């Protein structure tokens, strides 16, 4: 292939060429040529409705609530009120892993559904829901049952909250609560995260004051144990002597949520999905939060140092350094092995609301450059790397979502550090409520695209020919048919973990195999069979 240095302006124009003028105007604001300069890059339009007719990569509000936030909890029965398809297609496909622990209580492998039929739509489904809750209770006697609304439930007006309340009172020893997370609400999964966070906070967080054991107590917010990521992070925490009170929500239990207000620090991994809980825990219980990232070996080391710096104990600081020293040689060896084969290669990442940023770290460690990336549903603050810009307070997707008022709970409010201590930590470089964003972290001239769609994905690959394309299952096969290796960064295909030190090694090896496999050269992409247009992006 003949190397050509593409001008990102041309690429953008090519992507927009096929659209009618009105669509092109809107998409133009969601496709941005990054200037990578502090705030000089124009604003990106994000968290807005997908134009009907466009085949988006996004999911729905129900997916964000039931699938993303509550799905990975292991001892809450997650009961879907709706047609069976909504349950079936969410059944273990996200690959959030579980370990039943000592109590053995875990319902993740089941799919609980009311299996709504036409007659339930016509005559109402509340009775059926009540029976399903009763059946789940009689069979399993769980600590809690969560009920999720799907689109038809909202349309016919079943009152799931009243049913839940009635059953909770009837049982006495089982918390039953419901989520109005109909798929059509909001503009993406993001609305579902918000709805889930609100209800988890209202119904579970802070309900158990029984003192918890352990030193250096943190909560890990926004880590879902995909491919066992959470297990690797917990392994590292344990080695460092850091107590993880609750993960929101990978392999979590009801009791972990209930006692999470006893932690001293919240570590936020995926800001997009869980920032609401971080804010509410801070307001009500005075727990500060810092942003962490365990994707990438360097990022992992940096995050561990951040946690140690917060607690400030020399013993912890030393132990963290020792763990980094012990883990790094294997990481470096794997890096050195792959670098000659991976350096200079290019990647594209289009996933969710945080991984399109986090995974650039891992590619950098392999000498690879991310030439184009974007989120499906992130908000502008995720792109820009700021926590809730004042002018962004009203999210497009919060039009349907109640804002819950949270007041400081003076009786249980426990300032972890004095304001002076927090200020001193900030001055020493520990930033609270802050995180790096995708735009400032990406290089100048890279293309940042919000809510990429089927058509643009194929066009982008055709024009820029990356060495690897990362997205989800809907994109996988159409991209592979273009002769480009495709890695799922949602479910990790069948791989993982990729977090932490061991995860980084797994990732280097897998990507090395993918970008250097000769199998792709046997494919004939449409532009090879009909070569009117040819070129590749070269990284100088």
Q: Report, as residue numbers or ranges, the catalytic residues.
A: 60, 63, 94, 193
Alpha helices, DSSP H only, in 435-499? 438-441, 454-464, 473-480
Instruction: Please give the sequence-ordered ranges of beta strands (E in DSSP) within 125-250, or none if there are none.
Output: 144-149, 175-179, 217-223, 243-249
Q: Which of 224, 237, 289, 537 binds ligand CFN (CB under 6 A)?
A: 224
Q: Six-digit token pair at 283?
A: 């307001």
Size of the site for ligand CFN (CB under 6 A): 16
CB of 271 or CB of 502, closer to ligand CFN: 271
Contacts of 453 (CB under 8 A, 6+ apart): 50, 54, 55, 56, 57
CB of 266 or CB of 273, closer to ligand CFN: 273
Q: Which of 472, 497, 500, 503 binds ligand HCA (CB under 6 A)?
A: 472
Q: Which of 184, 474, 495, 509 binds ligand HCA (CB under 6 A)?
A: 474
What is the C-alpha to C-alpha distance for residues 309 and 321, in angstroms, rounded to an integer? 11
x-or-dash string of contact with ligand CFN, 203-222, rule CB under 6 A: -------------------x
x-or-dash string of contact with ligand CFN, 179-198, rule CB under 6 A: ----------x---------
Choose one: 79-87, 406-414, 447-455, 487-495; the region binding ligand HCA (CB under 6 A): 487-495
Say which entry of ligand HCA, ligand CFN, none residue 224 contacts (CB below 5 to 8 A, set by partner kind): ligand CFN
Q: Which of 249, 273, 372, 506 binds ligand CFN (CB under 6 A)?
A: 273
x-or-dash string of contact with ligand HCA, 185-204, rule CB under 6 A: ----x---------------
What is the C-alpha to C-alpha distance for residues 500 and 289, in angstroms, rounded to an integer? 20
CA 302 to chain centre: 20
CB 24 within 8 A of CB 16: yes
CB 222 within 8 A of CB 354: yes
3-state secondary structure of 21: helix
Residue 261 interacts with ligand CFN (CB under 6 A)?
no
x-or-dash string of contact with ligand CFN, 64-103, rule CB under 6 A: x---x-------------------------x---------
Instruction: Please give the sequence-ordered ranges of beta strands (E in DSSP) within 285-400, or none if there are none.
Output: 289-291, 346-350, 369-374
CB 227 within 8 A of CB 97: yes
List Cβ<8 Å contacts ≥24 apart for 363-367.
363/511, 364/296, 365/296, 365/297, 365/298, 365/335, 365/504, 365/508, 366/335, 366/338, 366/339, 366/342, 366/508, 366/511, 366/512, 367/339, 367/342, 367/343
Residue 490 interacts with ligand HCA (CB under 6 A)?
yes
Say which entry of ligand HCA, ligand CFN, none residue 79 contacts (CB below 5 to 8 A, set by partner kind): none
Burial of 156 (0-12, 13-18, 19+ CB in 10 A): middle
4-43 residues in contact with ligand CFN (CB under 6 A) are none
CB 200 within 8 A of CB 257: yes
Question: How many C-beta neighbours within 10 Å does residue 144 have?
Answer: 20
485-524 residues in contact with ligand CFN (CB under 6 A) are 490
Say which entry of ligand HCA, ligand CFN, none residue 206 contacts (CB below 5 to 8 A, set by partner kind): none
x-or-dash string of contact with ligand CFN, 341-380, rule CB under 6 A: ----------xxxxx-------------------------
Instruction: Please give the sequence-ordered ranges of beta strands (E in DSSP) within 115-242, or none if there are none.
Output: 144-149, 175-179, 217-223
CB of 362 vs ligand CFN, minimal distance in Å: 14
Residues that bind ligand CFN in the complex, under the rule CB under 6 A: 64, 68, 94, 189, 222, 224, 226, 270, 272-273, 351-355, 490
Residues that bind ligand HCA in the complex, under the rule CB under 6 A: 59, 63, 67, 93-94, 189, 352, 472-474, 488, 490-491
């Amino acid at each position: 292939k003949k190397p050509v240095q593409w001008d990102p302006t041309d690429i953008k124009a090519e992507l927009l060429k096929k659209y009618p003028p009105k669509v092109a105007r809107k998409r133009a604001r969601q496709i941005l040529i990054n200037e990578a300069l502090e705030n000089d890059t124009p604003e990106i339009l994000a968290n807005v409705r997908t134009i009907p007719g466009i085949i988006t990569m996004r999911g729905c509000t129900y997916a964000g609530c039931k699938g993303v936030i509550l799905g990975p909890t292991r001892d809450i029965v997650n009961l879907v009120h709706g047609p069976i398809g909504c349950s079936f297609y969410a059944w273990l496909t996200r690959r959030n892993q579980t370990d039943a622990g000592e109590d053995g209580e875990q319902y993740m492998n089941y799919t609980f559904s009311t299996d709504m039929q036409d007659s339930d739509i016509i005559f109402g489904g509340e009775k059926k829901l009540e029976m399903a809750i009763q059946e789940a209770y009689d069979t399993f006697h769980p600590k809690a049952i969560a009920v999720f609304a799907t689109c038809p439930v909202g349309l016919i007006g079943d009152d799931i909250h009243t049913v839940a309340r009635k059953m909770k009172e009837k049982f006495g020893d089982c918390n039953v609560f419901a989520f109005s997370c109909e798929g059509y609400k909001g503009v993406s999964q993001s609305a579902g995260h918000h709805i889930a966070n609100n209800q988890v906070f209202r119904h579970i967080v802070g309900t158990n004051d029984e003192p918890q054991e352990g030193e250096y107590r943190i909560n890990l917010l926004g880590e879902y144990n995909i491919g066992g990521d959470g297990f690797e992070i917990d392994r590292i925490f344990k080695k460092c002597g850091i107590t993880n009170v609750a993960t929101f929500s990978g392999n979590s239990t009801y009791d972990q949520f209930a006692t999470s207000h006893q932690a001293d620090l919240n570590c936020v991994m995926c800001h997009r999905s869980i920032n609401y809980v971080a804010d509410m825990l801070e307001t009500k219980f005075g727990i500060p939060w810092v942003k962490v990232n365990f994707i990438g070996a360097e990022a992992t080391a940096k995050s561990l140092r951040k946690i140690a710096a917060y607690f400030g104990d020399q013993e912890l600081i030393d132990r963290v350094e020792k763990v980094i020293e012990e883990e790094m040689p294997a990481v470096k060896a794997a890096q050195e092995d792959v670098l000659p084969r991976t350096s200079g290669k290019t990647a594209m990442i289009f996933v969710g609301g945080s991984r399109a940023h986090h995974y650039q770290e891992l590619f950098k460690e392999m000498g690879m450059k991310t030439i184009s990336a974007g989120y499906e549903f992130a908000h502008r603050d995720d792109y820009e790397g700021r926590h809730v810009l004042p002018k962004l307070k009203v999210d497009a997707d919060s039009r349907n979502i109640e804002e819950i008022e949270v007041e400081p709970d003076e009786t249980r409010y426990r300032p972890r550090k004095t304001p002076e201590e927090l200020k001193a930590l900030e001055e020493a470089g520990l930033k609270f409520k802050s995180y790096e964003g995708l735009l400032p972290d990406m290089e100048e001239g890279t293309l940042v695209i919000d809510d990429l769609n089927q058509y643009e994905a194929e066009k982008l690959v055709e024009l820029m020919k990356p060495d690897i394309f990362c997205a989800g299952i809907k994109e996988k096969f159409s991209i592979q048919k273009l002769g480009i290796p495709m890695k799922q960064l949602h479910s990790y295909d069948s791989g993982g973990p990729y977090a932490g030190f061991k995860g980084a090694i797994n990732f280097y090896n897998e990507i090395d195999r993918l970008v250097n496999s000769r199998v792709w050269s046997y494919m004939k992409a449409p532009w090879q069979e009909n070569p009117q247009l040819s070129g590749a992006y070269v990284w100088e």
